[in-house]
Structure 1
Amino acid sequence: MVDVQLHTRSEKQDKPVFEQLTKYVRVRSSGNSRFVEFDFAIGDPSLFVELIMPQGAFDHFCKANDVVYMTEDQQLAVDAEMEKWRYGEETLMAKNHG
């Protein structure tokens, strides 16, 4: 399970608790893509939505939401969890995958 992080900066403390939750992004597209494909999560990096935006809109979105980029450890944990859902843990497909 991934730890939920709260911002501690003073300007966030006047906001409701929900708005204090850390907002995560993980960019999936390459740097030269026309659009930025990314995952966006609030509070828990493993619960995310997939979004696509032009670069300028993405930059504005990140600034407006005060996002944090997922760490490599968080990305690996999310990927491992996705693998379990995709292939199961004790299935023939799980044993053939990898």
Structure 2
Amino acid sequence: MAATENGAAPAFDTARRFVRVTGERPNGFVEFDFAIGEPELFVELILGREAFGEFCAANAVEFLPPPDGDVGGKTPDDFDWRLADATHTRFR
């Protein structure tokens, strides 16, 4: 969180809800990130298209742009992954 003019951190606004669509599956499911208060702290969710629309309406979400694959100018490391990435990883 960026500091305000007087140096204090801005208040955490739980009324703000954010959604970033991260993918759509051929079977009609929408993969998305959902955040409350701060878009940087989110959970990964998946819902059917109709349920996704209802979820967004019920939460009065602000839509965020889709991920661009950029890692904020940082070199990717072990912490730069998503839970959805695990579906493409084979664990031993």
- Per the normalisation by structure 1, the TM-score is 0.54
Structure 2 residue corresponding to 1:55, chosen from 35, 38, 49: 49
Cα 1:69–1:5, aligned 2, differ >3 Å: closer, same or farther?
farther
Deviation (angstroms), 1:30: 3.5
**3-state DSSP class of the match of 1:38?**
strand
Deviation (angstroms), 1:37: 0.2
Which ranges of structure 2 fall in alignment gaps of 5 or more residues?
Answer: 4-9, 81-92
Q: Superposition RMSD on alpha carbons, in Å?
A: 3.5
Instruction: Give the Cα–Cα distance (whole angstroms) in 2 for the partners of residues 39 and 55 of structure 1.
Output: 14
- 1:96 aligned residue: none
In structure 2, what residue type is equivalent to 1:47?
A: L
**3-state DSSP class of the match of 1:28?**
strand
Please identify which structure carries the higher strand content: 2
State the identity as a percent: 38
Contact 1:25 1:68 (C-alpha < 8 Å) held by counterparts: yes
Aligned residues: 71
Instruction: Give the Cα–Cα distance (whole angstroms) in 1 for the partners of residues 64 and 25 of structure 2.
Output: 17
- Per the normalisation by structure 2, the TM-score is 0.57
Structure 2 residue corresponding to 1:36, chosen from 4, 7, 30: 30
**3-state DSSP class of the match of 2:79?**
helix
